[in-house]
Amino acid sequence: MNPSKPSTRPEPVLGVLDLQGGVLEHLDHLERLGIRGLPVKSPEDLSGLKGLILPGGESTCMSRLLRIFGVDEAIRREYRKGMKIWGTCAGTILLAARVRGETSHLGLIDMEVERNSFGSQLDSFTATAVVPSVSPDPLPLTFIRSPKILEVGEGVNILLRMNDFIAAVETPGTLATVFHPELTGSTAFHRYFAVKCGLCPAPDVPALDPGWSRTSWTRHVRVR
């Protein structure tokens, strides 16, 4: 009997959906934690992943591309097999079972969201908040054309509530944030998701990385 071919993918790995949106910023944060990140473009890329990050971007465009390339059904299949999923901003919209005034997409979290709840790009803002489940320290939050989580169903744990909306939730298999942790120097949410996926991030990385800058993600751009 021929020996099985060894896997060429070092394990464990977290994927970042790479169809549209802020992919490199997430990969940069994972690298800082010593976690290998894989850009996911096809159903085959999902095989064996411990977790998948759905980045911020344009949810309608992302949903259309998910269907065109058949990645939506592959995500649902791998989720049922145990792959964890984290949605940020547009990724949160993709995960919601209900989108106010629109058709839902992946529908993996029993919650209702509203797109562009804060207005236009010019209405983007930053804030800080303590999210006890994630970190005992105040965390920087960046909101860019963000949705609001309006309500959640049974079994959905609220991690952060702000004013009249819910900003972060989780279930055993999912995490959703309406803001962008990847656009700050904080690796706290990425660490939290990695641990949720059963991984062991590097212990000596500060929660607020002093080596981060707004252009840190450009380290991952390859000139062809």
The answer as to whether 34 is a domain residue is: yes
Catalytic residue among 29, 78, 89, 170: 89
Structural domains in the chain (count): 1
The answer as to whether 223 is a domain residue is: no
pLDDT tens readout for residues 35-84? 999 999 999 999 999 999 999 999 999 999 999 999 999 999 999 999 99
Whether residue 2 is predicted with pLDDT greater than 80 in this model: the reply is: no
| Domain with 124 in it | 13-216
Catalytic residue among 26, 29, 180, 190: 180
Catalytic residue among 25, 78, 182, 197: 182
The answer as to whether 203 is a domain residue is: yes
The answer as to whether 185 is a domain residue is: yes
Domain at 98, CATH number? 3.40.50.880
Residues whose CB falls within 8 Å of the CB of residue 92, separated by 6 or more in sequence, listed in order: 54, 113, 147, 149, 176, 177, 178
When pLDDT is cut at 50, 70 and 90, the band that residue 120 belongs to is low
Catalytic residue list contains 89:
yes
The answer to whether 62 touches 90, Cβ cutoff 8 Å, is yes
pLDDT tens readout for residues 144-195? 989 999 999 999 999 999 988 999 999 999 999 999 999 999 999 999 999 9
Distances (CA, A) of 171 to 123, 188, 193: 30, 18, 12
Catalytic residue list contains 26:
no
CA quadruple 49, 172, 170, 174: dihedral, nearest 10: 20
The answer as to whether 101 is a domain residue is: yes
The answer as to whether 69 is a domain residue is: yes
The answer as to whether 209 is a domain residue is: yes
